[in-house]
Amino acid sequence: MSSGRQARVAEAVRAAVADYLILNLANSTPGFISVSKAKMSPDLKIANVYFTIYGNEKDIAFSFKTLEKRKASVRIHVGREVPLKYVPELRFFID
């Protein structure tokens, strides 16, 4: 069962990742990427972020590969936007 704090932090992480996509990846990927949800571990150190990627299979693969390559910079952005003691490890999944 997730606590209220987990839900609030998950929403803040989801918003920060979406903000990063708008600022940095809008023109870099051929597929349209939408952040559908985020789930936090009970200790708030791991964030599972779920994406919906629209496009053909090639566009989806390229867009997801681009996300994985930029995971470190996405994490830095999340650390700046979400005030937590530890910046959560990001794990990306296609929804």
- Which tens digits make up the pLDDT trace of 44-73? 999 999 999 888 899 888 889 989 999 999
Whether 14 shows a pLDDT value over 80: the answer reads: yes
pTM of the model: 0.90
User: Which residues 6+ apart lie within 8 Å of 87 measured at CB?
Assistant: 75, 76, 78, 79
pLDDT at 86: 94
Q: Look over the chain and give the mean of its residue pLDDT values, rounded to a whole number.
A: 91
pLDDT at 1: 45
